[in-house]
Amino acid sequence: MASFQSLAISTEVADALAAGQPVVALESTIITHGMPYPQNLAMARGVEAITRAGGAVPATIAIMDGAFRVGLVDADLERLAETGARAAKASRRDVAALLNAGATAGTTVATTMQAAEMAGIALFATGGIGGVHRGAELSFDISADLEELSRTPVAVVCAGAKSILDIGKTLEVLETRGVPVIGYGTDDFPAFWTRSSGHKVDHRLDTPEAVAALIETQFSLGMGGILIANPILAADALDPQMIETTIAAAIADGERGGVSGKALTPYLLSRIFELTHGKSLVSNIALVENNVRVAAAIAVALAARRRQ
C-alpha cells in the first residue's frame, strides 16, 4: 500500500479492507463520459447496490476537489453524473495536475486501477476497457489502460473490448505486455455488446474460486494486473451485424469531425447511442451490471481464500 497524502478512503471501505472483507472497485469515467444523464446516475447507484447484494463493499473511485477518493457517497455520485463530460477525464498522466488544481474528474480504467492498488483493493469491475484504436498504426492511439494492466496488480472484470477498437491488435498488445486474459465461462474474447469477437482467449476459468486462485498466484509472482473477460448475457446482446454497421458509421462521423485523442471514445459512445436510439445504452448498463455481479462473487471467493 503506497502512502499518498491525497488518497481519501471512505471509512466503510477502509474498515472492510482492514477486516479482510470483499471489496469491489468501480470506475467513474463511465459515469462522467461514458453515459448520458440521468441514466449514468441510475447505473452508478445500481452497480453499488448489486455489489452489496453480492456480499461485497463497493468502492467507486474518482478525483473530487483535488482528492483521489476511494468510496463515494450518494451526493458524490449525483455530482459526477450531473457534471458529466464537463468534469475532466483523468488518465494516468493527468492525475498529478488534476490533484494540484483541485479538480473533479472521472477516473478511467487506468487511474481507477492505480487508486485501487494504492488502497489495497484487488478487484475492479467496469464495462469495457480502452485498447488499440482502429488505425492506430497511423494515429498511435493506444489506451493507457493496457499499460496500466501490465504494471498494476488489480484484476479487472470487463465485457471485453468494443469493436470501436481493433480487438485483434488490443489482444496483441496485452500479450506483449504480459497481461493474462481470462475468458470467464467462455473460450472467446467477448466484444462488449456481443458475446464473441471472433478471437480466442488463451485461458478459460468457469468459477469465482478459480479466478480467486489465479489472482493469488499472479500477485504472488509480483506481476501486473489480470483481465477477466465476461461476456454480456445473451438476452442483453445486440445483433452483431447491426452494431458493426453502426460502429463503422460512428467512426466515419468522428473522422469527418476531426475527433481524436481522449475525446474519441466518449464521442463514439454517444454517437452510437444516437444511432441505435438508445439500445446501445440499455445493453451497456446490463453488461456492467453483469460484470459487477461476477466481480462481487470473485471478491467473496478471494476473501474466503485469504481467511484460510
What angle, 0 to 180 degrees and rounded to 10, lies between the N-to-C axes of helices 264-275 and 279-307? Answer: 120
The answer to the question of residue 190 lying near ligand PSU (CB under 6 A) is no
- Give the nearer residue to ligand PSU in terms of CB position, either 84 or 183: 84
The answer to the question of residue 27 lying near ligand PSU (CB under 6 A) is yes
DSSP 260-277: -GGGHHHHHHHHHHHHTT
Instruction: Choose from Mn ion, ligand PSU, none: what does 114 bind? Cβ within 5-8 Å by kind.
Output: none
- Per CB under 5 A, which of residues 229..288 are in contact with Mn ion? none
- Give the nearer residue to ligand PSU in terms of CB position, either 127 or 180: 127
Q: Which of 43, 50, 90, 109 binds ligand PSU (CB under 6 A)?
A: 109
Instruction: Choose from ligand PSU, Mn ion, none: what does 10 bind? Cβ within 5-8 Å by kind.
Output: none
Size of the site for Mn ion (CB under 5 A): 1
Distance separating alpha carbons of residues 138 and 129, to the nearest angstrom = 21
- Per CB under 6 A, which of residues 257..276 are in contact with ligand PSU? 262, 265, 269
The answer to the question of residue 84 lying near ligand PSU (CB under 6 A) is no
| Distance, CA of 237 to chain centre | 18
The answer to the question of residue 225 lying near ligand PSU (CB under 6 A) is no
Query: What positions carry a catalytic annotation?
Result: 27, 162
Minimum distance of ligand PSU from residue 288's CB (angstroms):
9
Whether 253 has a binding-site annotation, put simply, is no
Q: From residue 68, how far is each of 81, 94, 118, 268, 293 by CA, in Å?
A: 17, 12, 10, 27, 25
Minimum distance of ligand PSU from residue 108's CB (angstroms):
3
The answer to the question of residue 141 lying near Mn ion (CB under 5 A) is yes
Minimum distance of ligand PSU from residue 264's CB (angstroms):
7
DSSP 84-141: GGGSEEE-GGGHHHHHHTT--EEE-HHHHHHHHHHHT--EEE-S----BBTTHHHH--
- Per CB under 6 A, which of residues 125..144 are in contact with ligand PSU? 127-128, 130, 143-144
Amino acid type, 294: V
The answer to the question of residue 30 lying near ligand PSU (CB under 6 A) is yes
- Give the nearer residue to ligand PSU in terms of CB position, either 208 or 283: 283
Whether 206 has a binding-site annotation, put simply, is no
- Cross-strand bridge partners of residue 155: 123, 226
DSSP 187-239: SB--BTTBS--S-B-SEEE-SHHHHHHHHHHHHHTT---EEEE-PPPGGGPPP
Instruction: Choose from ligand PSU, Mn ion, none: what does 30 bind? Cβ within 5-8 Å by kind.
Output: ligand PSU
The answer to the question of residue 291 lying near ligand PSU (CB under 6 A) is no
**Contact between 130 and 30 (Cβ < 8 Å):** no
Cis amide prior to 38 (ω within 30 degrees): yes
Instruction: Choose from Mn ion, ligand PSU, none: what does 294 bind? Cβ within 5-8 Å by kind.
Output: none
Distance separating alpha carbons of residues 139 and 4, to the nearest angstrom = 35
Q: Which residues bind Mn ion (CB under 5 A)?
A: 141
